[in-house]
Structures are given as structure tokens and as C-alpha cells.
Amino acid sequence: MVEVDGEVVGVSGWVVVVVVDDVDVDVEVSGSVVVVVDGIVVVVAGSSWARASPVCDTAMLAATKVAAIARTQGLNRTRTDRKSDGGPDQWARRRQLSSSGRPSMVCRFRRAGPSGGPPRLSPRTFHASSPRRPGFPAGRPGPAPYDPAVGDLGFDGKVAVITGAGGGLGREHALLLASRGARVVVNDLGGSVRGEGADDGPAARTARDIEDLGGVAVADTSSVATPEGGEAIVATALEAFGRVDIVVNNAGILRDKAFHNMTPDLLDPVLAVHLEGAFWVTRPAWAHMREQGYGRVVCTTSSSGIVGNFGQSNYGAAKTGLVGFTRVLAIEGARHNIRVNAVAPLARTRMTEEVLGGFADRLHPRVVSPVVAWLCHEDCPVSGEVFAVGGGRVSRFFTGLTPGYFDPDLTIEKVRDNFDTVRAEEGYTTPASLAEELAELFTRFT
């Protein structure tokens, strides 16, 4: 049961969220932990909170589920003033009134077991004289858990297709978008890091976790590497939800080898999954985005291609190809309100954990997802840009064109003698298209 000031406002098996500020709350729920809302959602925390990571896991899941259910029930949302303590904006929600007259929101909470969620807990009581949003539990490096009830950017009514979402970055993208109201197609073939084999489990687990948290998701295990697979993935979205608004091209594999040892069996699958996969998934979605006059596409490129990395000529070529893909689609999609951007993430995943060394724990994939989500949002104003994201840093990669050296009667010797001028970066420009570069060149002819 849940008691607020001694008065029972809920029963075992139900989560009762009381929307009040700064109250003393005693919570006792058999086998689980209930969350209490401060403004909207704050997990009940005690002095032993930081040492109770299983409790934090369970409560964080409960908080996400409560917020998602509130959203799907159509509770009104309006911006409120920024809190005086500098905290983020919060949603002010229409609230049901409990029998005591206190504002409250009642949602069912299904306890998750060891196989599909946090550990079951024995009955216990937590006290919080001043409920607060918890940080990440001690002993588990990474950012604070999501608090989807805080923030004013939602994806209600939007349908997102996310490839490679059975684990790592894609899973985090799917969880975040779903927690903010998007309906998600979780695509993952379930193969190994090398792209071998298949397993329905990863996609199904992510979709089930989203649903257990109160979100909406369907799993898809089609391959991105073929036109038929791409069509099937988008068909899953259309059959389940009737539309597609967002595509996040995240699926990837690795077959690293130094260039002198590169063979077709190491090159072709990497190009097929990373580069061609983006083509085959985005293309069928693109037709629907053009028709509805709206779409958002995010591609996953890599610094391994943009700036280079030893032993990854296949991967780097595929990932840099996605930069060109992103730039061209941004131009073609502009008139249809389709925006296309890319991220170059630095994050700990099964593909990177062996190369990141001691910094792996600082590069949690969860802190990449907010950038991806922003690029997927209808309010995002940019298109055709590439962002480097990792460990909390967000930066922009761009292509600069130096003023260079101009001589209509160019010779080899003139190139040699003026090579420093050619390479000098002062006064560079960032042309947004081939047309802009040509326009700059044509000014030299006058």
C-alpha cells in the first residue's frame, strides 16, 4: 500500500502517484518499489539510496512506466515556468483527484522478474522528507536514469523505425523515444558483431521492455542489407501503426582488418549493412514521408571514417558514405519538410568496448540518445549536418573549403610553389551544396 500523511490512497498492485511538492511519504509495496511525484515524477529516496542499485533499477522502471501511461491516457500537457532552482521545465498535467481531494494519478504497475527486468525485491519501506530525482547508483558509472516526465519535447503520434535496436545505442534510442510518446519499430536481426547468425531475442526484449514500461513497440527481425528487408521493416511500421515519421539508421557490424589483408568477405557485408542498409530502409519510408510532408532521418556515421582509424578501411568507407548520403537527402527532402542529419557517436557498445580501454565506462550509450532524439524532433531546425557525440560532449563536424589559390594558367610548379596557400585554413567557407561551391568558383571568373 501507499500512504501519504497516513492516509491510504492506493492498494497493493497499483501505483498511486501523488502530485504534490515536498511531502513526507512512507511507501511499502510488496515485491516492488513505488515512485512518488514531485511536480511530476521523483523516485522515493532514502539515505541508503546510492547503495541500493537494484532498488534504483526497479524504481526507475516504475517512474518511466508511470509517465508513459500518463502520456498514453491523453493527460493534457502545458509548459510551466522554469523552476527556481534552475531545474528543467516540467509538464503541468491534468490530474485526477483522489477521495482525499489530493491530486493523484493511478496507474497499474506490473512487477518485472529477473529474466525481463529488475530483480524482485523483498518488502521494504523507504522514507523521503524531500523527494528528489536520484543520480546514477554508486558503483555503476554512467549518467542519471531517464526522467521522461521532466522536459517539454515529446513525440506523441509519431512512429519511429530504429534499426539495430536490440542492444547498445539503438536500444537506448528506442527506450528514450518511446518514453517520450513515440511508437517504435524495434528492428534487429540479432546477429553477431561480425554480422553472422540471427536471433529474434534482442529485438523482442527491447520491444517487451518498452511495453513493460508503458510504451508502445513492435519487434522486427528483417535484415537491413537487402531491398526486401528494408521494405519489410517499413511495412511493419505501416501495418502496426499506419505511418512512419522517423528513421534512425543505426544497424552495424564490424569486420576489421588492415587494408593489405582486406578481402571481399570483409568488405561486402560491412558496406551492405552500414551503407546499403541505410538506403534500403530509408527509401521505402521516404515515399511516405514525402506524401505526408514530414519526416526525420538520422544516420549513424563514425569518426573512423570522417577522420580515420587504423584497420577500418571497410567500416570507414561505409560510414563516410553515410555522410554523403545524409547531405544529399537533406537537399532532396527540404521541400517536403524532411530533415536528415547524422551522428558520429563515441560510446561503449559490444562493437567498441574492446578498443575504448579504461574510458569505456565514461562513454555510456545513453548519453548519445538525447542528441539523436533532438534530431528526430519536429522542432529541430537543421538538416544535412553531422554531430560528434560522446560522454556528454556534443560537437559539430563540418566540411570547410579554404580560399585556396587561383590561377587560370595553373601548372605543376605553381601548385608546388603555392601549396601552403592552398592549405591555409584562414577564411574558409562551409558550402551547403555543390551549387554553393560552384557559385563561389564562378565569382573567380569575373
Return the pLDDT at 41: 34
Residue 430's nearest CA partner among 406, 396, 407 is: 396
Active site residue 315: yes
Cell of 99: 477521495
Instruction: Tell me the percentage of the chain whose pLDDT exceeds 70.
Output: 63
Rounded-to-integer distance, Cα 67 and Cα 33, Å: 15
Ranking 5-19, 147-161, 282-296 by mean pLDDT, the lowest is 5-19
H helix intervals, 78-223: 168-179, 201-212
Catalytic residue, candidates 146, 315, 405, 428: 315
Rounded-to-integer distance, Cα 226 and Cα 277, Å: 7
Cell of 252: 552495424
Phi–psi pair at 45, nearest 5 degrees: -130, 145
Rounded to the nearest integer, the mean pLDDT of the chain is 73
Return the pLDDT at 77: 31
Assess contact for 348 and 365: CB atoms under 8 A.
Answer: yes
* Residue pointed to by grid coordinates 528528489: 132
**Can you give the residue ranges of every domain in the chain?**
2-128, 159-397, 401-446
Residue 238 pLDDT exceeds 90: yes
Residue 361 pLDDT exceeds 50: yes
Say how many C-beta atoms besides its own lie within 10 A of residue 380's C-beta.
Answer: 16
Assess contact for 171 and 165: CB atoms under 8 A.
Answer: yes
Residue 112's nearest CA partner among 64, 75, 169, 175 is: 64
Return the pLDDT at 353: 56
Rounded-to-integer distance, Cα 319 and Cα 304, Å: 8
Higher per-residue confidence, 318 vs 107 = 318
Residue 130's nearest CA partner among 21, 257, 262 is: 21
User: Average pLDDT in the 260-268 region?
Assistant: 96
Assess contact for 342 and 385: CB atoms under 8 A.
Answer: yes
Residue 291's nearest CA partner among 244, 341, 231, 330 is: 244
Assess contact for 33 and 55: CB atoms under 8 A.
Answer: yes
Angstrom distances, CA of residue 10 to CA of 29, 96, 106: 10, 13, 8
Assess contact for 342 and 386: CB atoms under 8 A.
Answer: yes
Relative to beta strand 7-10, strand 2-4 is antiparallel
Return the pLDDT at 383: 98
Q: Please measure the distance between the N-terminal and C-terminal CA atoms of the chain and give it in whole angstroms.
A: 81
Residue 161 pLDDT exceeds 90: yes
Range 159-397 has CATH code 3.40.50.720: yes
Residue 39's nearest CA partner among 61, 62, 55, 19 is: 19
Ranking 30-39, 305-314, 351-360 by mean pLDDT, the lowest is 30-39
DSSP output for 361-381: GG--GGGTHHHHHHHHSTT--
Write down the architecture of domain 401-446 according to CATH.
Orthogonal Bundle (1.10)
Confidence category of residue 1, pLDDT binned at 50, 70, 90 = very low
Q: Is the pTM of this model over 0.85?
A: no
Rounded-to-integer distance, Cα 430 and Cα 428, Å: 7
For 27-63, how does the pLDDT look when each residue is reduced to its tens digit (9 = 90+)? 333 333 344 433 333 333 332 222 233 333 444 444 4
Confidence category of residue 191, pLDDT binned at 50, 70, 90 = confident
Residue 386 pLDDT exceeds 80: yes
Instruction: Tell me the percentage of the chain whose pLDDT exceeds 90.
Output: 56
159-397 and 401-446 agree in CATH topology: no
For 64-122, how does the pLDDT look when each residue is reduced to its tens digit (9 = 90+)? 444 444 444 443 332 222 232 333 332 222 222 223 333 332 222 233 333 443 322 22
- Please name every residue paired with 150 in a beta bridge, in sequence order, or none if there are none: 90
**CA dihedral (423, 425, 426, 429) positive or negative:** positive
Q: Burial letters for 214-227: b for 16+ Cβ neighbours within 10 Å, e otherwise?
A: bbbbbbbbbbbbee
* Residue pointed to by grid coordinates 575504448: 356
- Please name every residue paired with 375 in a beta bridge, in sequence order, or none if there are none: none
Residues 6 or more apart whose Cβ sits within 8 Å of residue 18: 2, 4, 9, 25, 36, 37, 98, 102, 103, 104
